[in-house]
Amino acid sequence: MWGTDIDECANKDVPPCSESEVCYNTQGSYRCLCPNGTHGEHYNGTCYQSYQSYQSQKLPLAVKLVTGICVSLLIIVIIVLCIHIILERRKLIKFKEENFRQHGGLLLLEEIGKRQGVAFKMFTEEDLEQATNKFHKNNIIGHGSYGTVYKGILKDNRVVAIKRAKIINERQKKEFGKEMLILSQINHKNVVKLLGCCLEVEVPMLVYEYISSGTLFQLIHGIGHRIYISLETRLKIALESAEALAYLHSSASPPIIHGDVKSSNILLDDHLMAKVSDFGASMLAPKDEKQFVTLVQGTCGYLDPEYLQTCQLIDKSDVYSFGVVLLELLTGKKALRFEGTEIETSLSSNFLSAMKEGRFSELLDDQIKYDEEVERINETAELAKACLNVKGEDRPSMKEIVEELDRLKKMKQHPWEQHNDAEIESLLDNPSSYCEEENTGFYSLEKKAMLSMEPGR
C-alpha cells in the first residue's frame, strides 16, 4: 500500500531542479525537464537553447519588420479579395434580378400562380448549366443564326432540349413574359411542349421536351445514307404537321403564326410522329388586340414571297412554307440548292415550272416515283401547288389542308372508303348527279365504276 505522496516540487527552500528546469511531480518522486525551446541533460542541470530558437532570436530587426509587413499585406489582400468576391456576387445577383424583371418574370410568376394546370417552370442559370455540363459542345444538337440548342438532363432525370438564343431586342424583352405564358398553354400532340424558361440571363433560354429521332430534314435528305420512306409515311408526317399548324392558327388563344415552317423544324419521335418545334420562333409580337404573330427572320427557300414584299406575316405565310415541305416529301430534294439555273436553285420555282410543262414526274423521289398510287401523288402535288400561290388569299387555310391530306391518306387503293355509308347510298340512289359533273377527278371515275357494277345498272 502506497504512503502519502510528498510533492518535492513544492519545496521552495531546497528546489529539486535547477532554475533552468521545470519540475513535474510524480507519485513518490518528481521529474526535471528542460523547458520548451531547450534541450540538454536536465539531471545535470544543463539545458541549452535549441538551434532554431537561438537563430530566431538572432534575426535582425529589419528582417522581422519586413516579415511582419509581408504577412500584414497578405492578410489585407485576402480581405480585399473576399470583399471583391462578395461585391461581384451581389452585382451578379442584382444583374440576374434585373434581367428577370425586364423579361417579365414577375408578371409570368404571378400569372402562373393564378392559373391551375400550367406545368411551366422557371429555371435558374445554374439548373441549365448543370443539365448541359456547362453548355459543353458535346451536348449541342442543333444550331443556326438564331442560336444553339443543347441536349440536357434535369435533376429529375428528364431529358430536355435547351434553346440558347444569341440576341434579343428591347421590345422583345418587354413582351417576353406575356408571350411565354401564351406559349406555355399550347397543348397538342404534334407540337413540341415548352416546359419552362430561364429569365435571369441577358438572353432568355427556353426548355422544350426532347424529341429523340431527329428532324424531318434529316429523315428526307439523310445523314450519310437514306432510308426508305413509303408514300403512306410521307402523308402521315405531312398530315400531323398540318394538324399542328392548324391548331396554332385556329385553336391557340390567341392564334399563333409559326413564321419559320421548314423540314428542320419538324421533329420526329421514335414512332415517326411529327412534332412541330420553334413555334413562334420563341418570340411573339402583338399585331392587334385579338391576334399575336411571330417575329421571325424565316429561312431562304421557304419564305412567302408576299411576306417579303409586304413585311406582313400572316397565316397564309405558314401555308406557303408548308407547301415547300410537301415538295420535300414528294421529291426528296432540298428547298434550296446552290447549283443549276436560277429556277433549279429554288425547289418551289422548279416545281411550278415542271407542273406548267407537265414534267412533274421527273422531280419525284425515286422511292415513290414508280408507286402504283399515281393519282394520290398527283393530288398531293396539286395541293402543294395551291399552297404555293403567289397571292396569300388564293392559298388554302391550314384547316383545309388538314382535310385534304386526311382524305388523301385514307384514299389508299379504294378511295370510296373515306365516305360514310350515307354518302355512298346517296350516290347509288342518284347516279345522274355524278353524270352531270365534270369527269376530271379520281373520285368521279371511281364512283362511276361503282355504279356500273351495281346489279341492274
Q: What is the distance between the alpha carbons of residues 53 and 84, in angstroms, rounded to a whole number?
A: 39
φ, ψ of residue 309 to 5 degrees: the values are: -80, -40
CB atoms < 10 A from the CB of 234, how many? 24
What pLDDT, in 10s, does the model give residues 242-291? 999 999 998 887 888 888 899 999 999 999 999 998 764 434 444 554 44
CB atoms < 10 A from the CB of 109, how many? 14
The single-letter code of the amino acid at 310 is: T
Q: Give residue 342's pLDDT.
A: 64
Evaluate the CA torsion angle 146, 151, 157, 158 in order and state its sign: positive
Put simply, whether the predicted model's pTM sits higher than 0.85 gets the answer no
**Residues β-bridged to residue 140:** 150
Q: Would the annotation count 163 as a binding residue?
A: yes
From the candidates 127, 260, 278, 365, which is the catalytic residue? 260
Question: Read out DSSP for 232-255?
Answer: HHHHHHHHHHHHHHHHHHHTSSS-
Q: Which residues of the chain have pLDDT under 70?
A: 1-3, 19-20, 36-37, 39-46, 48-59, 116-118, 144-146, 168-175, 223-224, 279-297, 340-343, 413-457
The most distant pair of C-alpha atoms in the chain lies apart, rounded to whole Å, by 149
Give, in degrees to the nearest 5, the angle at Cα 282 between 279 and 288. Answer: 85
Fold equal for 8-58 and 215-413: no
Check if 315 is active-site.
Answer: no
Q: Give residue 282's pLDDT.
A: 38
Q: Give residue 422's pLDDT.
A: 42
- Fold annotation for 103-210: Phosphorylase Kinase; domain 1 (3.30.200)
CB atoms < 10 A from the CB of 320, how many? 23
Q: What is the distance between the alpha carbons of residues 421 and 423, in angstroms, rounded to a whole number?
A: 5
- Fold annotation for 215-413: Transferase(Phosphotransferase); domain 1 (1.10.510)
Q: Give residue 263's pLDDT.
A: 93
Q: What is the distance between the alpha carbons of residues 372 and 141, in angstroms, rounded to a whole number?
A: 38
**Residues β-bridged to residue 149:** 142, 163
Cell numbers standing for residue 244: 399542328
User: Which has the closest alpha carbon to 173: 102, 122, 226?
Assistant: 102
- Fold annotation for 8-58: Laminin (2.10.25)
Q: What is the distance between the alpha carbons of residues 161 and 156, in angstroms, rounded to a whole number?
A: 14
Q: Give residue 60's pLDDT.
A: 75
| Sequence spans of domains, the chain | 8-58, 61-102, 103-210, 215-413
What pLDDT, in 10s, does the model give residues 118-165? 678 889 999 999 999 999 999 998 876 667 889 999 999 999 999 887
Question: Cα dihedral angle (26, 30, 34, 35), rounded to 10 degrees?
Answer: 50
Cell numbers standing for residue 67: 516579415
Cβ atoms of 141 and 150 closer than 8 Å? yes
Cβ atoms of 425 and 407 closer than 8 Å? no
Q: Give residue 226's pLDDT.
A: 76
Cβ atoms of 300 and 269 closer than 8 Å? no
Q: Give residue 187's pLDDT.
A: 86
Q: Assess whether the previous peptide bond of 396 is cis (omega < 30° from 0).
A: no
Q: Give residue 443's pLDDT.
A: 31
Q: Give residue 290's pLDDT.
A: 44
Give 183's Cβ-side CA count (13 Å radius): 31
